[in-house]
Amino acid sequence: MQPFGDPLTVPLVWRRHVDLARVASAICRFGV
């Protein structure tokens, strides 16, 4: 399986990455 080979899995991985980045920024913002 190629993580970046399937054009259908790329948006899912990107969305998941964006969610993780959003959570990380929120944690850094609240300083928890």
- Residues of the chain by 3-state class (helix, strand, coil), percent to 5: 70, 0, 30
pLDDT exceeds cutoff 80 at 20: yes
pTM: 0.49
The residue among 32 and 3 whose pLDDT is bigger is 32
* pLDDT tier, 22 (very low <50, low <70, confident <90, very high otherwise): very high
pLDDT for residue 8: 67
pLDDT exceeds cutoff 70 at 26: yes
Query: Minimum mean pLDDT among 6-10, 14-18, 19-23, 24-28: which range?
Result: 6-10
